[in-house]
């Protein structure tokens, strides 16, 4: 027989934990001696080890109590059930993580900081995930174009592509007051063109098509609608750059 302190030492837990398990009927002592001293045998050691293991695996104390009291699913079946629960929780957390990333990115893109604006941004992000977007895409794009669009960086993702466009839009917003023909505007236009060229892998026909549909025709094709003042500025800056460098309308005219 072991006193409660020794049991706590053997099972690497606390006396307080063992007392609580006694209170809720999860682990009763083998014997109660004079003065209310609790004593535990080898069976209690095995049971407490099992309880602590199941708790470590994420089972609630209520579930553990039922598992130990009832003859039901086998340990394998219960562990498989727990694994499925964890996988579902992980998927839910992953989606939540993407939603928070996306909300923060849109806050930067739209210079938003109030809770009312955040709520609107989150709803916009949520709407992008609806089936309607895929239906609109299929109306306007070929299968090859859809594959290319699917590979574009997306709001909510992490990575240098999203960070780059967020930074670029912020830089454009900070310079909306300057002349679109100025050297600084030319630098911003070149950055935009280079970014677009990279993410569309040189497919300027698709880039122009997606830009026209999303930014001017306002079709929901899963591409972010940039603020109108940003669109107007960068479009004019790129037009001036095209004229200066002699690009034709099929070359560097698209945007991401």
- Token representation of residue 77: 């079946």
Supply the pLDDT for residue 128: 67
Supply the pLDDT for residue 140: 92
Instruction: Decide: 147 and 203 in contact? Cβ < 8 Å.
Output: no
Report helix, strand or coil for 38.
strand
Taking CA atoms, 200 is separated from 68, 134, 149, 231, in Å, by 58, 19, 8, 18
Q: Rounded to an integer, what distance in angstroms lies between the CA atom of residue 69 and that of residue 47? A: 11
Average pLDDT over every residue of 217-233: 89
pLDDT digits (tens, 9 = 90+) for 16-68: 999 999 999 999 999 888 888 899 999 999 999 999 999 999 999 999 998 88
Strand 2-3 to 38-40 pairing? antiparallel
Helix residue ranges, H only, the chain:
4-10, 15-23, 42-56, 61-69, 75-110, 115-128, 131-140, 143-150, 160-174, 183-199, 204-211, 228-245
Taking CA atoms, 158 is separated from 13, 109, 256, in Å, by 40, 15, 17
Class of domain 2-69: mainly alpha
DSSP 74: -
**What's the mean per-residue pLDDT of the chain?**
88
Rg, the chain, Cα only: 30
pLDDT digits (tens, 9 = 90+) for 178-219: 999 999 999 999 999 999 999 999 999 999 999 999 888 888
Domain with CATH 1.10.1660.10 in the chain: 2-69
Confidence of residue 255 (pLDDT cuts 50, 70, 90): very low
Confidence of residue 158 (pLDDT cuts 50, 70, 90): confident
pLDDT digits (tens, 9 = 90+) for 83-103: 998 999 999 999 899 889 889
Strand partners, 40: 2
Supply the pLDDT for residue 77: 86
**Cα 58 to the chain's mean position, in Å?**
23
Average pLDDT over every residue of 155-165: 90
Contacting residues for 237 by C-beta, under 8 A, at least 6 apart? 180, 181, 185, 186, 188, 189, 192
Supply the pLDDT for residue 256: 41
Q: Is the dihedral of CA 97, 103, 109, 111 positive or negative?
A: negative
Q: Angle 42-56/61-69 helices, nearest 10 degrees? A: 130
- Nearest CA-CA partner of 196 in 247, 133, 244, 143: 247
Q: Examine the pLDDT at 175 and tell me if it is beyond 50.
A: yes
């Amino acid at each position: 027989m072991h006193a409660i302190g020794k049991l706590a030492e053997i099972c690497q837990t606390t006396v307080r934990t063992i007392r609580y398990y006694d209170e809720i009927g999860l682990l009763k002592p083998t014997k109660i001696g004079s003065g209310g001293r609790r004593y535990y045998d080898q069976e209690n050691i095995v049971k407490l080890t099992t309880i602590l293991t199941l708790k470590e695996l994420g089972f609630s104390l209520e579930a553990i109590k039922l598992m130990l009291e009832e003859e039901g699913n086998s340990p394998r079946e219960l562990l498989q059930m727990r694994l499925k629960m964890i996988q579902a929780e992980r998927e839910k957390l992953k989606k939540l993580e993407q939603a928070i990333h996306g909300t923060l990115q849109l806050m930067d893109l739209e210079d938003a900081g109030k809770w009312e604006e955040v709520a609107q941004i989150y709803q916009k992000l949520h709407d992008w995930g609806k089936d309607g977007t895929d239906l609109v895409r299929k109306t306007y794009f070929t299968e090859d174009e859809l594959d290319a669009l699917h590979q574009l960086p997306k709001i909510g993702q992490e990575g240098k592509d999203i960070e780059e466009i967020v930074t670029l839009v912020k830089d454009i917003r900070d310079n909306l007051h300057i002349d679109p023909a100025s050297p600084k505007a030319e630098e911003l236009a070149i950055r935009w063109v280079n970014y677009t060229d990279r993410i569309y892998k040189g497919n300027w026909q698709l880039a122009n098509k997606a830009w026209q549909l999303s930014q001017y025709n306002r079709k929901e094709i899963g591409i972010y609608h940039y603020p109108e003042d940003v669109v107007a500025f960068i479009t004019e800056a790129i037009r001036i750059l095209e004229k200066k460098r002699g690009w034709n309308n099929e070359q560097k005219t698209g945007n991401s």
